[in-house]
Every structure is written in C-alpha cells, then in structure tokens.
Amino acid sequence: MCGIVGYVGSRPAAPILLEALKRLEYRGYDSAGMATVSRKLFVKKDRGRIADIDRRLKLAEMPGNLGVGHTRWATHGEPSRVNAHPHLDNSGKIAVVHNGIIENYFELKKFLQGHGYRFTSQTDTEVIPNLIHHFLKRSGDLEGSVRQAAKRLRGSFALAVISEEEPGKIIAVRQDSPLIIGLGEGEVFLASDIPAILQHTNRMLVLENGEMAVLTPDDVSIKKFGSGATVKREPMLVQWTAEMAEKEGYPHFTLKEIFQQPDAVRDTLRVPPEELKRLARFLLRAKRVYLIACGTSYHAALVAKYALAKLAGFPVEVVISSEFGEIGNMDEGTAVLAITQSGETADTLKAVEAARAAGARVACLTNVVGSSITRMSDLVCYTYAGPEVSVVATKTFAAQVAYLLRLAVQLAEARGRSGPRSKRLAAGLGSMPEIMRKVLVEVEPRVKSLARGFLSAEHIYLIGRGVGYPLVLEGALKIKEITYIHSEGMPAGELKHGTLALIERGTPVIAVVTPGGMRMKMVSNVEEVKARGAQVTAIADNGKDLEGHVDELISIPHTEELLSPLLFIIPLQLLAYHITVGRGQDPDRPRSLAKSVTVE
Ligand code: F6R
C-alpha cells in the first residue's frame, strides 16, 4: 500500500503535494518523491520519511503549478532512492506514481527490453512509464497511450501520469487501488485517500475500477479505459473531519484494518506462483522444517501446520521463536520458515541468527520489504497487507494465513498429492475476499450487540478443535490485548484434562465450531460446558443444529475446513474490538504493548 497525490491549478504545486503526502504517511513511509512540471520535468525522491527527505532535498521548492507525489510502502524492491517513485520513462519526459502491484510486470519488462528499453530499479512500476512511452512514440497521443498501457496491465494499480510535453494535465487511472479526485475553484487535486486533500475541498469524485480521468485546472473528464466510453459522475460532498478521513470514517484503525482484510487477502493472493514454487522447493530440500514466530504470527504458523499436514502430508514443527534456541534441532539439513509481519521482532531475529549459525537455511515471510529479517534470510517472501497502524495484528494475520494456505496447495502439488481437496482449496481461495467482505458486513452488528454481554466478564474461555484451535488462541490473544479481560484459548479436547474445573454457572465460553471431521466432537464439547452452566456463545459453521443448544449463535457460511480460519477470525476480532470500545478503552493503543517488539 502506498499513497499517491496530484495537483493541477494556478498555485505552486510542490507545497500542496508535500502537505498531502504527509497526511498520507499512514499508507506507507519508507521512501517518497515528487515530480513537477514547469516547462520541463523536475523530480526529487529518496529513501526515508517525508519530513527528512524535504529537509535534505527541499521538496517544497520544486517549481511549477502541476505535479504528482508518492509515499511508498515497498512491495517490489527494497526501500531506496532508485526504487522510490516517481518513475520515469527512458526519455525522461513522462513521470508516473503508482499504488498497487503489477502482476505481469515481468512479461512487460521483457517485451519492453526487446524494444530497447533499459530498467534501473527493481520495481514493478518502472514498466508503466516505458509502456506509455512505447505507445506514445507511435501515436503522439498521451491520453490514448496511457489508455493502451492501462489495458495491458494486470493486477492492482492507481496511477498518476504527467508529461513535460503536455504540461497542463494529470492523467489518473484506477484498478483495484483507491483514487479520489478533489474539485476546487480553478484547481483539481488527486489522492489515494480523502484526508490528503480534505483541507482544500470537500467536493470529491471517486474514480471506480476500470476508469481513467484527465485532470486540468478547470475540468475533469472520466472514461472507461477498456471501452473508451465516457462516464458522467456527480461529485459528492464529504462531511468527514480530517481525523475521521484518515481512518476512512472508522472510529479506530483497529476496526478499519479488520475491515481491510479482504483487500489484504486479495493482494496477497496475487503473489506470483513462481515465488510459492521457490519456497516449496526450499522446504522440500530439508530433512526437517520448523516454522518459527511470535504472537499472532505464531497462530498463523499453527494454521499452516494443519493445512500442510492435511493437504500435502508435509509435517512441520511450529515453535515460538523465544523457545527455539532451547529445542530446535538444527544443522545443514534444517530449513526454518520465520514468520513475522514486522520483520523486526527480536525473538524471531535471534532464533534466525542461531539457526544460521548452526548451518540451517532460513526463509522468511514478512509484510515489510527491506525489514531486518529480509537481510538475514536465504529466501524472502512477502504478504501484501499494507502497513498496519493498530498495535494489534489483524489484517496481517489474514494475509499470512492466505499465503500459507497457498503454500500448502503448492506443496501438495509438488509432492504429487494435489487431489480434489487441494483443487477445491485453490479455487476457493480466490473467492475468499468477497465472502470475507460479506461476513464482515453481516456479523458486525450482531457481534457489537453481543459484546455488551462481556463488558464486565473477568474470564473468557475459548474452545476449538482442528484449525479452530489456533483460532481460539488468536481470539484469546486479541481479547486480552485490548479488552484487558483474562481470556484463554484451548483445544476443546483438553477441557476435561483440567480447565473444566473452572467452568461454573455463568462462565463465558466462546465455542469456535469450524467445519470438518471434528465438528461433531466440538458440538459434544459445547454440551459439556453447557451442562456445567456456562454461558456459551458459539461461532459455528452453518450453525442451525446449535440453535437452542447455546445461548448465542453467530452463524458463518459453510466453507472448506482449511479456508474457514479466514472467516472465523472475523467475529473474534470484532468481539475483542467491541468489548474494548464498550469498556471505554482505546483499541488502537493498548497499554504496555508495542507494534514491533525489538527487545528479547
Ligand atoms: C498481536 C500482536 C503481537 C505480534 C507479535 C509478533 O496482536 O500484534 O503478538 O503478533 O509481536 O510480531 P511480528 O509478526 O511482527 O513478528
């Protein structure tokens, strides 16, 4: 996730772009840059936070009344000056800023190299200005060339394009990444999100997928880039305050990020198959494989353990990073997959260091390009959840699970075990973002009202089986982190080995009844706690059979068992969120916790 901005009007563009970029830093902050036009094209960009780059390069002093800017959250290529946006074509006259991921950039790059184009960055974006230039050379028509280029791009992209040869306009394009146009008096603004430009205007046009727009100081014309058909759209009046706009109208980043999960999963599923094949080969070469992680990432690793065993018959050991040094059996035959959204967790970095020292090979799965873990790993893999602002991990968990499920499918294939189940899973993954979106909208009001019943709870027990087990661990972690209520997740089968002694009249129990072979056993566990007077809330796959047997029921649409974590985690996260808000606490800033835990 990156942030892009644009301005065309009669005022100096640079200070407006700079201010807008600062307001978008929550979308990315590893590097930034701007391009303006004043007779010719001016470009400044670098690695680092925007304020520091401005101090060094004097961004606000760039000349011209038109320009574009970018704040980056790296996806392809580490944070560096050369990978920062804007990117130029080989003629140096066209500048492009891009938010999103170009899936077919490799093919496009080869095609352009065949036509003599040279590339200097490791980004997917650099193909775009060159592709535009390729068409422009023949037609001389910038707008038409942008359209031709957009038609050839696959993936997600919000683009702003300027050229020194047509200095009065910005061309904007949108597919699966947001883009908002702000209408002023004799000036037009462009941004990934509303807060970047809200101080200038509240008259906004939202660009939809498949559309492009030409922005000049007095006019905005929109068309479909596929068919070329003109689009008529009335501006809307945005009533948000700047703070509300940063959270896209959500009261907290935590809730915004819970609702961003379908996009995080969709973007992560765009990882090219070659990357998963590489990781599968890496793991298959080893005598033993460890997945190591902390906190939420550890729970994602546990989901992976079930998926890898069930789908690919591929056993792995999952170890908490801080314990790994004590029990990891490491030598040259060992492969370690370290999972860490931040890439900076000290316990995981230490474990990786120890593994490498013992001769083990290390791969990592992280959400932060260029983070410390990437420099310590033999193979680097990424989730594409975008920056997570809230301290508690939500969308990065969903992205990790999606990635690891794809890995399971890949390993099943590589081991000749890709039967109907893995085919169903592979097909089902593609439709998960849409189903997640539906579940979010459907369950939130119900969870919000159920949360009232937990406000004064002292203990909450969560039980699950199979993939439901890591989910209850994750649900309990979310609840304790932000509500400060003691909560404990456990395998439902373990109840009778001790915890049942704590269940008495009114004890809150959340039963996570996921689909699959263990479902009936879970239903028996529900009866078991019910018989001891527990107040049971069941989150159940197609829960009709539980009606009347539990106190409260949240029914989840039926899916393949291994896909169910992507749906069942939603009510658990929402419950933690709404209990927290109901208790008058701030979910975005839980006490005593930090987003990156850089101490052992
Ligand atoms: C939970 C949470 C933490 C992290 C843990 C590991 O909401 O945020 O438990 O999951 O600190 O962090 P990463 O994944 O960055 O290594």
Asked if residue 46 belongs to a domain, the reply is: yes
pLDDT band of 314, cuts 50, 70, 90: very high
Determine the 3-state secondary structure of 588 from DSSP: coil
Residue located nearest, by CA, to atom 16 of ligand 1 = 340
Place of tokens 């002292």: 458
Asked whether residue 210 carries a pLDDT value surpassing 70, the answer given is: yes
Minimum-distance ligand 1 atom for the alpha carbon of 295: 9
Determine the average pLDDT of the residues in 236-252: 80
The predicted-structure confidence for 367-377, as pLDDT tens digits, reads as follows: 987 788 998 99
Helix, strand, coil percentages for the chain (3-state, nearest 5): 40, 25, 35
**CA 340 – ligand 1 centroid, Å:** 7
Structure tokens, 169: 């306009």
Over range 427-437, report the average pLDDT.
97
Which of 9-18, 201-210, 428-437 is predicted least confidently?
Answer: 201-210
SS (HEC) of 475-493 = HHHHHHHHHCCEEEEEEHH
Within 10 angstroms of residue 19's Cβ, the number of other Cβ atoms is 17
Residue 88 shares a structural domain with residue 145: yes
- Which residues lie with the beta carbon below 6 Å from any ligand 1 atom? 294-297, 340-342, 345, 348, 392-393, 477, 481, 597
- What is the 177 CA–ligand 1 centroid distance (Å)? 26
Tell me what the mean pLDDT of segment 514-536 comes to: 94
Pair 184, 321 in one domain: no
Q: Rounded mean pLDDT of 490-508?
A: 94
From 8-12, 113-117, 381-385, 435-439, the region with the lowest mean pLDDT: 381-385
Q: Bigger pLDDT: 30 or 125?
A: 125
* Residue 590 counted as domain residue: no
Ligand 1 atom 15 nearest Cα: 342
591 inside domain: no
Ligand 1 closest atom vs CA 396: 14
Residues 230 and 340 in one domain: no
pTM: 0.79
Atom of ligand 1 minimally distant from the CA of 296: 10
Q: Which domain holds residue 409?
A: 263-582
- Please tell me the distance from the alpha carbon of residue 570 to that of residue 554, in angstroms, as a whole number: 11
| Pair (299, 352) in one structural domain | yes
Contact 570, 255 (CB under 8 A): no
Percent of the chain with pLDDT over 70: 99
Residues 267 and 233 in one domain: no
Annotated catalytic residue 595: yes
* Mean pLDDT of all residues in 86-90: 98
**457 and 544 share one domain:** yes
Ligand 1 center–CA 591 separation, angstroms: 15
Task: Give the residue-averaged pLDDT of 576-596.
Answer: 89
Average pLDDT of the segment spanning 420-440: 95
Closest Cα to atom 7, ligand 1: which residue?
392
- Is residue 199 helix, strand or coil? coil
- Which of 216, 246, 276 marks a domain boundary? 246
pLDDT at 595 over 70: no
Is the pLDDT confidence value at 189 over 70?
yes
93 pLDDT exceeds 80? yes
Domains identified in the chain, total number: 2
Given this model, what pLDDT does residue 29 score?
77
* C-alpha to C-alpha distance for 370 and 75, rounded to whole angstroms: 9
Claim to verify: residue 113 and residue 203 sit in the same structural domain:
yes
Task: Tell me the C-alpha distance between 216 and 390, whole Å.
Answer: 37
- Tens digit of pLDDT for each residue in 16-27? 999 999 988 877
Residue 573: its pLDDT value, please?
Answer: 98
Q: Is residue 253 a part of any domain in this protein? A: no
pLDDT band for position 380 (cuts 50, 70, 90): very high
Give the strand pairing for 334-340 and 379-382.
unpaired
Residue 391 reports pLDDT greater than 70:
yes
Give residue 590 CA to ligand 1 midpoint distance, Å. 13
The answer to whether residue 275 sits within a structural domain is yes
Query: Going along 59-202, which residue ranges are E strands?
Result: 66-72, 87-88, 94-102, 155-163, 170-175, 180-183, 188-191
Select from 192, 211, 246 the last residue of a domain.
246
| Top-confidence residue, 326 or 163 | 163
Residues 542 and 489 in one domain: yes
Peptide linkage before 590 cis (omega within 30 of 0)? no
User: Which of the residues 22, 224, 448, 595 is marked catalytic?
Assistant: 595
Do 197 and 329 sit in the same domain of this protein? no
SS3 at position 219: strand
Residue 236 sits in the same domain as residue 93: yes
DSSP string, 114-126: HTT----SS-STT
* Pocket-testing residue among 342, 573, 580, ligand 1, by greatest number of atoms within 8 A of Cβ: 342
Among 140-149, 455-464, 492-501, the least confident range: 492-501
Task: Say if 302 falls within a structural domain.
Answer: yes
* Ligand 1 centre distance from Cα of residue 294 (Å): 6
- pLDDT of 323-364, one tens digit each? 998 887 889 999 999 999 999 898 999 999 999 999 999 999
SS3 215: strand
Residue 565, domain member (yes or no): yes
| CA dist list (Å): 505 to 493, 512, 534, 580 | 20, 20, 5, 24
Minimal CA–CA distance to 321: which of 287, 366, 283, 352? 352
| Mean pLDDT value across residues 318-322 | 97
The encoded tokens of residue 201 equal: 């205007």
Same domain, residue pair 444 and 499: yes
- Could you tell me the sign of the dihedral formed by the alpha carbons of 448, 450, 455, 460, in that order? negative
Write the CATH number for 20: 3.60.20.10
The CATH number of residue 535's host domain is: 3.40.50.10490
Please confirm, yes or no, whether 364 is among the known catalytic residues.
no
Q: Write the DSSP symbol of residue 44.
A: E
Domain stop point among 246, 276, 308: 246
Spot the catalytic one: 2, 294, 364, 381.
Answer: 2
How much is the mean pLDDT over the chain? 94
Residues 277 and 202 in one domain: no
In a domain, 256, yes or no: no
